[in-house]
Chain A
Amino acid sequence: MTQVTLSIFRGDANGGGFVDYTVEMGEGQVVLDVIHTVQATQAGDLAVRWNCKAGKCGSCSAEVNGKPCLMCMTRMNTLDTSQPVTVAPIKTFPLIKDLVTDVSFNYEVAKRIPAFTPRAPDAPDGTYRMQQIDIERGQEFRKCIECFLCQDVCHVIRDHPENKPDFMGPRWFVRLAELEMHPLDTADRTEFIRKAGGIAYCNITKCCTEVCPENIHITDNAIIPLKERVADKYYDPFRWIFGKLTG
């Protein structure tokens, strides 16, 4: 057992600050383990979200030493523990308490996205046929655990909360790309992506891709293809003229 000090943000919407907690740390522990030790021994009311503790549910997102990550997958031995390790809540969403933020924005956006609209079944028994190669891109997007770290680092909404009504953020472009590239889906969401999604705000700095714990190529595989679809439909000069001529 070694001792380690975490400097954890304590507070709520009215304000707060970092409080140091020194606790014993066991072998192989992750940041969330140490947070739990602090909770169990020194601060029973320390607010933190977590569920699976195995990188599968995306609940325990935080900023550890300034870096957005899942606390359950961040090993203490990857951090410099000679100084206090800072643990702060994710910044893009309003603070509720300590490490817990109000991520309801995401659930509201999810409701607005036009639903999956499948084609008629392929076989008389009501089942579908799809080739593995055709679903692999969709499967990449569906690995998303909704940790919202991509939303946290996206400067369009992190630094400018006023953009939130007009820009959905990377998580929702991944969702939209998944629907648009789904082999069974028949809906066209291009207008939605352009207008409601606000995809033009994204200037492909790839911050989202860098923090994705599921290693989804958010920028290259989701956002850029969606931008291309929008550009094709609305900003292709030939298509524009053709549209004018043919009504």
Chain B
Amino acid sequence: MAEYETHEYDVLVVGAGGAGLRAAIEASAKGARTALVCKSLLGKAHTVMAEGGIAAALGNVYAEDNWQVHFRDTMRGGKMLNNWRMAQLHAQEAPERVHELEAWGALFDRTKDGRILQRAFGGHKYDRLAHVGDRTGLEMIRTLQQHAVHQGIDVYMECTIARLLKDGDRISGAVGYWRQSGDMVLFRAKAVVLGTGGTGKAFKINSNSWEYTGDGHSLAYWAGADLIDMEFIQFHPTGMVWPPSVRGILVTEGVRGDGGTLTNSEGKRFMFDYITDYFRAETAETIEEADKWYDDKLNHRRTPDLLPRDEVARAINSEVKAGRGSPHGGVFLDIASRRPADYIKRALPSMYHQFKQLADVDITATPMEVGPTMHYTMGGVRVDPDTAAATVPGLFAAGECAGGMHGANRLGGNSLSDLLVFGRRAGMGAADYALGLGSQPEASTGDADTMADEMTACLDREGGENPYAIQSDLQDMMHTLVGIIRTGVELDRALGEIEKLKERAQRTSVPGGRAYNPGWHLAMDLRSLLTVSEGIARAAKERTESRGAHTRDDYQKTDPEWGKWNLSLSQGTDGSMKLDKTPLPEMPAELASLLEEAKV
């Protein structure tokens, strides 16, 4: 048995985006000895890329807004598959979390009377997103980071957690490696909070950073926790499409919230042709009504340009397939002809900058070309809504790597608020659990030894598979077979391909040594990438209906019977992936009535 660098804590938080930072702040404030571990440098997590804003029913722009309306919008956006209690807590607590950020130094854009300004977004009835131009994520992560730094939380940067450790049934820590040196490190911890984000790097066209390899999903799954709703992958309707090198980079929904419209090659605002019955009562049917809505949301219905993301992404996909796309296979997003140049530069500075610098397009003068890009993983670790506890004692999860909150489709803006609300709750849950636990559980180094052997084997092997090639093949395959529109036949093929890729991933070899070796790190990340890819494909195969972000060409209807079930994945004793149908928790009558009233 080898000796490892070892640290001991009450609470270990894995991931330093919005959820991880907020969890660490809370756990530390509750008196738990807290460590925060992140794969990159602090402040670089994917939260930094969030653009549009934080959804919270502050009621600053429309006093009519309140948590009940936010709850209703969230549930309808998620096609009613959301965990009702999470959606309720989220809507109730988001305003307080936003005000808290302000008290920690965040500078949100203001209303005329000096309060926090809110912008319109898809699926939200009222202007609801607290924002800072189109760089809200940066403001949020910096505020949390600066607050955390002064709380005395120990931060371990460029450290990848590779396995969770258990003492019997409960969590006892985690083992990982320093990216800089390649040396292993062991954290003994009474509780572990996962805040590791999503799975975007399993797909070819995505808006995610390199870190998004499904680590938290996989760590939890390997440790015996359940994953739910893995079939629901959000394709954001507006990613850049040209030039090829920037394909997939996010174009904020704020462009549409602030007046931009989607048009096809015939110049038609095609979204009016894609209003489904589900949203018909709340969506404008004419251009005149849609355009009046921007200034008066009480007396007009929302433009179909701002239907929830699943609806818009499918519509763009259909327009392109019908031959009405833009020259580079997207559609047009036009704000240039609709808003003055100085307004665009002020409200959307980083979009202006991004298109100018990367695509030679001036968005104040010409329309952008956009198309769907893999953006968000709705599915994740099954958690208790109030404490964020996973099904394994001592394990907690929050943010994108947790499941349930967003159901079958997430509304824009609900992610940043999710990170804050459930990051805090996970920090609380973990601290309460850890402080209630008498002694430090035993952390056996057996798993660490296995890890160390696997890692060394990959370095020692010669003439094996190139991890970059495996990832690229996985991304192509997932994009083609498990993408925006799915069929049972293709999903079966995908599962076959994943098995082959798993075998190849066993035989990787990389040049170089242990010190800061990205090829080596990718070889390790392939295990989690393949685990989540299999989970997504299996759940997608099982759900024989279309709902939210999950669209089956061979089962095009939404089936009310399927609306009663979550799909749940867990690792069987033989190591294979088990799939179960678990009933949706029943919603209390007073909440259900909010949704009834909303039907009109």
Contact = CB atoms under 8 A, between A and B. Distances in A.
- A and B co-occur in one complex: yes
Given A40-B468, A75-B358, A131-B114, A59 B245 contact: no
Contact of B520 (A45, A100, A126): A45
Contacts of A127: 99, 102, 115-116
Interface stretch (A135-143, A157-165, A221-229, A234-242): A135-143
Interface string A54-91: 11111100000000000001010000000000000000
A212 to B, nearest CB: 12
Interface stretch (A26-34, A188-196, A202-210): A26-34
B180 interface: yes
B250 A54 contact: yes
Nearest to B114: A129
B245 A57 contact: no
Interface string B34-56: 00000011111110110000000
Contact of A45 (B103, B107, B138, B513): B513
Contact of A56 (B138, B149, B150, B210): B138
Given A44-B510, A54-B249, A57-B48, A182 B518 contact: no
Interface in B109-160: 109-110, 113-116, 132-133, 135, 137-139, 142, 146-147, 149-150, 155, 157
A147 to B, nearest CB: 10
A40 B511 CA distance: 11
Nearest to B47: A57
B350 interface: yes
A49 interface: yes
Nearest to B249: A54
Tell me the dominant secondary structure on chain A's binding face: loop
A201 interface: no
Nearest to A45: B512
A26 to B, nearest CB: 5
Contacts of A145: 48, 138
A51 B245 contact: no
Contacts of B180: 96-97, 100
Contacts of B350: 55-56
A115 interface: yes
Contacts of A107: 41-42, 155, 157
A28 B245 contact: yes
Nearest to B514: A45
A27 B520 contact: no
Contacts of B358: 28, 30, 54, 73, 75
B517 A45 contact: yes
Interface in A34-53: 39-41, 43-53
A58 B115 contact: no
B369 to A, nearest CB: 12
Tell which of A30, A40, A73, A110 has the most Cβ of chain B within 10 Å.
Answer: A40
A118 B105 contact: yes
Contacts of A131: 110, 114
B149 A143 contact: no
Nearest to B211: A51
A45 B359 contact: no
Contacts of B515: 12, 47, 96-97
Contact of A47 (B146, B246, B468, B518): B518
B44 A57 contact: yes
A130 B114 contact: yes
Contacts of A30: 245, 358
Given A40-B472, A115-B150, A129-B113, A45 B518 contact: yes
A55 B353 contact: yes
Nearest to B466: A44
B457 to A, nearest CB: 16
Given A44-B511, A132-B110, A29 B243 contact: yes
A167 to B, nearest CB: 20
Contacts, number: 170
A44 B467 contact: yes
Given A44-B512, A110-B146, A116 B209 contact: no
B146 A52 contact: no
A57 B150 CA distance: 22
B467 A47 contact: no
Contact of A100 (B44, B150, B513, B516): B516
A129 B518 contact: no
B463 interface: no
Nearest to A25: B245
Contacts of B46: 51-52
A111 B143 CA distance: 14
Given A73-B358, A131-B114, A110 B102 contact: no
B43 A146 contact: yes
A161 B357 CA distance: 33
Nearest to A122: B114
B210 A28 contact: no
A50 B245 contact: no
Contacts of B245: 26-30, 33
Nearest to A128: B102
Contacts of A4: none
A47 B354 contact: no
A182 B104 CA distance: 11
B469 interface: yes
A58 B513 contact: no
Contacts of A97: 180, 515-516
Nearest to B246: A28
B519 interface: yes
B242 interface: yes
Given A44-B467, A57-B48, A98-B516, A51 B99 contact: no
Interface in B160-208: 180
Interface string B230-251: 0000000000001111100110
A67 B400 CA distance: 37
A27 B246 CA distance: 10
Contacts of B249: 53-54
A27 B42 CA distance: 33
A103 interface: yes
Given A28-B244, A55-B354, A142-B139, A46 B518 contact: yes
6 contacts: A12-B515, A55-B350, A56-B49, A126-B103, A130-B114, A139-B107
Per CB-CB distance, the 5 closest pairs between chain A and chain B, nearest first, are: A28-B243, A45-B512, A44-B519, A129-B114, A40-B468
Given A40-B469, A184-B105, 9 more contacts: A28-B244, A28-B246, A33-B245, A44-B510, A96-B515, A110-B146, A128-B114, A139-B107, A142-B139
Interface of A: 12, 26-30, 33, 39-41, 43-59, 73, 75, 96-98, 100, 103, 107, 110-111, 115-116, 118, 121, 126-132, 135, 138-139, 142-146, 179, 182, 184-185
